[in-house]
Each structure stands twice: as C-alpha cells, then as structure tokens.
Structure 1
Amino acid sequence: MRSIIKTGIGTALAAGVGALASRDADSRWYRRLSKPPFQPPAVAFPIVWTLLYTDIAISSAVTIDTLRDEMRHIDAAAFERALAVNVVLNGAWTWVFFRAHRTGTAAITAAVLTLSSADLIRRAAPASPPAAAALVPYAGWCAFATALSTEIWRRNR
C-alpha cells in the first residue's frame, strides 16, 4: 500500500480539523439545542470517527494503488481529487456546525458529504470491490449525519 501515507495524512488532517472545532460540542449553545431522540451518546462520535477515518485511509490507498497498478493513472488521480474534496467537506462540517452555528448550512454540507462519500464508493468499485464495500459504512454514517443535522436544524430554527 504505497499510498497509505498520503491517505493517512489526509484523513488525519480532516480528523484534526474536526477535533479542533468539535471542542465546542460542550458549549452552552450546543447543550441548549433541541436534539432528536436518535442522537447517539457523545462518546460514540470519537469512536465511530476513528474507525471511519482508518477505513477511509486504507480503502482509499488500496483503490489508488490498484488503479495505478492497472495503469489507470487518470482514474487514480481523479480518485485522489475526489478524496481531497471529501476530506475537506468532512472537516468543514464541524466548523460550520459547532463554530459558525449554521445548522441549516451544516445539514446541506452533510448531504453534500454523503454524495461525495457515495462517489468514492462508485470510483473504488471497479478497481477494488472490497475497498468499495469497506467505504459503505462511511457513506451510511454520513447519511445518518445528514438526517441528524437536518432534524437539529428543523427543531431549532
């Protein structure tokens, strides 16, 4: 896995950027929000995201390396660009929600992130069906985050 350093750094940066903004998860503003009953406990988020970031880094590295091994350099570069957009969106959501307090914009950002995650699966599938399958929980979690963000926005308009 020649690309693991690059994908690992990218996902670690997204995790770090998100962690900086999510320090406000214990803010007065956040505590006062009306949250839906399907909101997971706070302890779930760092556990789930650690697993997902690891999954993204490994699955993406496998995909990129496979595409390169197959001499599909254009597809490998396109996957890398799609991954870069994805991790930027991923890190941005936390800032939009926790720092800017823009719950509606956060819901839209989560929806775009979900589409971006599904696009990663689509791009990975021809190169490595197992890597594509491994990305499905990430897209599922992003879809859940979209529903959660949308419901928080709806409850707190």
Structure 2
Amino acid sequence: MAAGSTGAMFKPGEWYKRLTKPSWTPPDWLFPVAWTVLYAAMVAAAYRMAKSGDPLAQPALAFWAAQIALNAVWSPVFFGARRVGAALVVLSGLWLAVAATVVLSFRVDLLSGFLLLPYLVWASYAGALNAWIWRNNPGAKDL
C-alpha cells in the first residue's frame, strides 16, 4: 500500500500533459487500472512464495522487496521532481529487480511466476515510454 500511495501522491498533472509523448502512450485512465491489477498480482505472488517453504523464496522475496522500493521511488522522481532521466535510472533498476523476481519466482512457484509476468511486460513498456519522453523532451523539468 505504501509503494502504491506514491503514485497517488505524485500524479501526472498539467506538467505531464505538456510533455511530448509517443502515439503509443496509454490513456491516463489506464494507469490506475493497470497498477491495481499489477499490485494485486504482486501481493498474491509474494504471499505464495513466502508460504512455499522453498529455499529460493528468500532471494526471490529480497528482489521483490527491492522492486517494490524502487517502484515507490519512481513516481516522486518522475512526477514530483520532474527528473525524467533520473527516473529512467530508477526504472532500469526496477526492471532488473522485477526480472530477477520473475526468474526466481518461477523456480519457487509456477503460478507466482505467471502472476508476475504482466508486471515485467508493464515495466518494459514503462521503460520504453520513460526513455522516449527523456529523449524527446530535453527541457522537461522546466515545462
């Protein structure tokens, strides 16, 4: 809940609307819907791994904790500080943590791995979007 709350505290707003964005940018209404589904899947996967008793659950949950922390940091950096490049660095770390979580989760609990796959896809998409915005909005902080 705490990680998800940063997205509610640091909303896109007018600044985000002024940015040049690619044609494949999702509509604003999709973000809260997607994140609600993704957070529910993340929690279910973590719960299943924690209950599994598998020795690989500990490293999987460590990467899970790392990705949730990085997830919580991204919105304040991107929307709050308007540091698009720094947000891309955060998102790169997030992507690596999510990928590691997915790989390990498949080894711990097959369903957990499948529950986390959409998150990896979304993080990949978000990374491409963040990179595109960074590249095409050199003065983004001052918009």
| TM-score higher than 0.5 | yes
> Which residue pairs with 1:52 in the alignment?
38
CA contact (8 A) 2:70 2:94 kept: yes
Distance in 1 of aligned mates of 2:16 and 2:8: 15
Deviation at 1:77, TM superposition (A): 2.8
Higher relative contact order (CA 8 A, sep 6+): 2
Deviation at 1:132, TM superposition (A): 0.5
Distance in 1 of aligned mates of 2:116 and 2:79: 26
Is 122-131 or 89-98 further displaced after alignment? 122-131
Distance in 2 of aligned mates of 1:136 and 1:50: 15
Deviation at 1:79, TM superposition (A): 2.5
Give the TM-score normalised by structure 2: 0.91
> Which residue pairs with 1:26 in the alignment?
13
Deviation at 1:78, TM superposition (A): 2.3
SS state at 2:107 partner = coil
**AA of the residue aligned to 1:64:** A
> Which residue pairs with 1:7 in the alignment?
none
> Which residue pairs with 1:77 in the alignment?
58
CA contact (8 A) 1:83 1:120 kept: yes
Q: Percent identity, aligned pairs only?
A: 31
Distance in 2 of aligned mates of 1:116 and 1:81: 9
Distance in 2 of aligned mates of 1:117 and 1:100: 24
CA contact (8 A) 2:49 2:61 kept: no
Distance in 1 of aligned mates of 2:60 and 2:2: 18
Distance in 2 of aligned mates of 1:50 and 1:63: 20
Give the TM-score normalised by structure 1: 0.83
CA contact (8 A) 2:57 2:108 kept: no
Matches within 5 A, 1:58-73: 58-66=44-52, 68=53, 70=54, 72=55
- RMSD between superposed Cα atoms in Å: 1.2
User: Unpaired segments of 5 or more residues in structure 2?
Assistant: 139-143
SS state at 1:125 partner = helix
**AA of the residue aligned to 1:17:** T
SS state at 1:56 partner = helix
Distance in 2 of aligned mates of 1:156 and 1:126: 41
Residue of 51, 64, 67 corresponding to 1:86: 67
> Which residue pairs with 1:115 in the alignment?
96
CA offsets per residue over residues 85-130 of structure 1, 9 Å max, x none?
1111001110110011111111221122111111111111111112
